[in-house]
C-alpha cells in the first residue's frame, strides 16, 4: 500500500469542484485525508470530486458557502462542527480575477475580487483558528502578480499581496500550537486562469525559461508537501512555483 502521510487527517479545500481545487482535494485524499469539499455554486462539480474521493475509500463531506460573506462562512463551519467534527488542514484555494484599468474600476469588481480573494480566506482562517487541531495546517494561495503586477490586474494583485501579509501574521499567531501557515505562489497554470485566452497562455509561457506554463499536478505537489508532517518547520513562507518565470 502506498504511503499515506495524511492518514487520520481531515482537510477543508475551498473551490474543490473544479480545476486545481479538485486536484488538491484528490491528492490529499490519496495521501490519506478525508476531505471537506467546499463549493460556491458548482455543486455538480463538487459532487464529482466527492465521488472520486469516496472511491479511494476516504470520506468526503460537501459544504456550500459564498466565502465573501462572513455569515455563510460561519454557517459552513457550524456544519463542519457536526460532520466531520474535526479539522486538521485548510486550503484556501478559491480565487477570482477581474481585469480592468484603473480608470475603469467598477464597484462590483472591487467587492467580488476582494471578497473572494481576501475576505474569504480571512473569514475562513478566523473560524478555523479555534478549530484546527494542534500541528494543523493553513495553506493560502497568492499569485506572482502580487509582486509583479500587470496593467489591469491591480485589484487582484492587491488582494493577493494582502494574503501574503496575513500569512506571515497568522503564522506567528498560531505557531505556539504547532500550526503552520504558508502561501503557495503559482505562476500561470493549466487548468486555471491561463486558459482564458491563447494570448494570455502564450504570454506566460514565454516568460518562463521552460517555455510553458505550469501543470496543476506541479502546484498540487507543493500543497501536498506543506500539508504533510515533513513541513512542520516551514511556516510564514511564500513558496514560489512558477518555473522561474519573470512575471
- Examine the residue annotation and report whether 82 is marked as an active-site residue of this protein: no
Q: Which long-range contacts (CB under 8 A, 24 or more apart) does 2-8 make?
A: 2/30, 4/30, 4/31, 4/32, 5/31, 5/32, 5/228, 5/229, 5/230, 6/31, 6/32, 6/33, 6/89, 6/227, 6/228, 7/32, 7/33, 8/32
Separation of alpha carbons 142 and 157, rounded Å: 9
Q: Which of 16, 143, 208, 235 is catalytic?
A: 143
Find the catalytic residue in 142, 157, 208, 235: 142
Q: Does residue 169 carry a catalytic annotation?
A: no
Cα 84 to chain center, whole Å? 20
Catalytic one of 149, 156, 157, 208: 156
Bridge partner list, 121: none
Asked if residues 216 and 20 have their Cβ atoms less than 8 Å apart, the reply is yes
CA distances 196 to 53, 98, 199, Å, are: 28, 12, 9
Q: Are 146 and 136 in contact (CB under 8 A)?
A: no
Query: What are the cell numbers at 185?
Result: 505562489
Q: Count of alpha carbons within 13 Å of 197, Cβ hemisphere only? A: 4
142 among known catalytic residues = yes
39 an active-site residue?
A: no
Catalytic residue among 94, 160, 208, 235: 160
How far apart CA 125 and CA 173 sit, in angstroms, is: 12
Q: Which residues are catalytic?
A: 142-143, 156, 160
Amino acid at each position: 500500500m502506498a504511503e499515506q502521510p495524511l492518514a487520520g487527517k481531515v482537510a477543508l479545500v475551498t473551490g474543490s469542484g473544479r480545476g486545481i481545487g479538485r486536484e488538491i482535494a484528490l491528492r490529499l485524499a490519496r495521501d490519506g485525508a478525508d476531505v471537506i469539499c467546499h463549493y460556491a455554486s458548482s455543486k455538480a462539480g463538487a459532487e464529482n470530486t466527492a465521488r472520486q474521493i469516496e472511491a479511494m475509500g476516504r470520506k468526503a463531506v460537501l459544504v456550500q458557502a459564498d466565502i465573501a460573506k462572513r455569515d455563510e462562512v460561519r454557517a459552513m463551519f457550524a456544519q463542519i462542527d457536526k460532520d466531520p467534527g474535526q479539522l486538521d488542514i485548510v486550503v484556501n484555494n478559491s480565487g477570482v480575477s477581474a481585469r480592468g484599468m484603473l480608470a475603469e474600476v467598477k464597484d462590483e469588481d472591487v467587492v467580488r475580487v476582494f471578497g473572494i480573494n481576501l475576505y474569504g480566506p480571512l473569514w475562513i482562517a478566523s473560524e478555523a483558528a479555534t478549530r484546527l487541531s494542534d500541528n494543523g495546517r493553513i495553506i493560502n494561495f497568492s499569485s506572482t502578480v502580487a509582486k509583479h503586477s500587470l496593467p489591469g490586474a491591480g485589484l487582484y494583485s492587491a488582494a493577493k499581496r494582502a494574503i501574503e501579509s496575513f500569512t506571515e501574521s497568522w503564522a506567528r499567531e498560531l505557531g505556539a500550537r504547532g500550526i503552520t501557515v504558508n502561501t503557495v505562489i503559482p505562476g500561470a497554470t493549466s487548468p486555471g486562469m491561463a486558459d482564458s485566452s491563447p494570448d494570455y497562455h502564450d504570454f506566460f509561457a514565454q516568460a518562463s525559461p521552460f517555455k510553458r506554463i505550469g501543470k496543476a499536478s506541479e502546484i498540487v505537489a507543493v500543497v501536498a508537501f506543506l500539508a504533510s508532517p515533513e513541513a512542520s518547520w516551514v511556516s510564514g513562507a511564500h513558496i514560489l512555483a512558477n518555473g522561474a518565470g519573470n512575471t
